[in-house]
């Protein structure tokens, strides 16, 4: 659906969270970037999974069902080299080293 819409509209689209299962049967929380031609040009698997345990109140662990990704995502467009802030996800943003890597590699944040 995202690929068709990006192509029909002639725009880039970022979509997620999409459950993605790899060839080893591991499940990831994934976001994708689709270009104007409707092709997936980047994929980011959420690195820092959300786990919380407040005794007597709430317990939620993404890590019980999802596998953490292990890459930082970059892609190129006619506008420049992009590092997608949207693909990093909120939990990943808490790790400031990601932002430094984008800066060091001279990438724009989207």
**Which CATH number goes with the domain that contains 79?**
3.60.110.10
**pLDDT number for residue 48:** 81
Give yes or no for residue 85 having a pLDDT over 60.
no
Residues near 71 by beta carbon (within 8 Å), at least 6 away in sequence: 44, 45, 47
Q: Phi, psi at residue 79, to the nearest 5°? A: -90, -10
Give yes or no for residue 18 having a pLDDT over 80.
yes
How far apart, in Å, do the first and last CA atoms of the chain sit?
A: 22
13: containing domain: 2-53+60-109
What pTM does this model have?
Answer: 0.73
| Residue 74 in tokens | 């970059």
Query: pLDDT averaged over the chain?
Result: 81
Strand partners of residue 82 = 75, 108
Overall number of domains in the chain: 1
Bigger pLDDT: 11 vs 90: 11
Residue 110 to residue 97: CA distance in whole angstroms:
17
């Amino acid at each position: 659906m995202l690929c068709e819409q990006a192509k029909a509209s002639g725009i880039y689209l970022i979509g997620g969270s999409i459950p993605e299962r790899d060839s080893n049967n591991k499940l990831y929380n994934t976001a994708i970037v689709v270009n104007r031609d409707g092709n997936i040009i980047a994929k980011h698997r959420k690195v820092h999974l959300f786990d919380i345990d407040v005794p007597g109140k709430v317990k939620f662990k993404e890590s019980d069902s999802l596998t953490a990704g292990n890459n930082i995502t970059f892609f190129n467009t006619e506008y420049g080299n992009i590092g997608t802030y949207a693909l990093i996800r909120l939990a990943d943003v808490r790790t400031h080293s990601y932002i430094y890597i984008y800066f060091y590699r001279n990438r724009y944040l989207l």
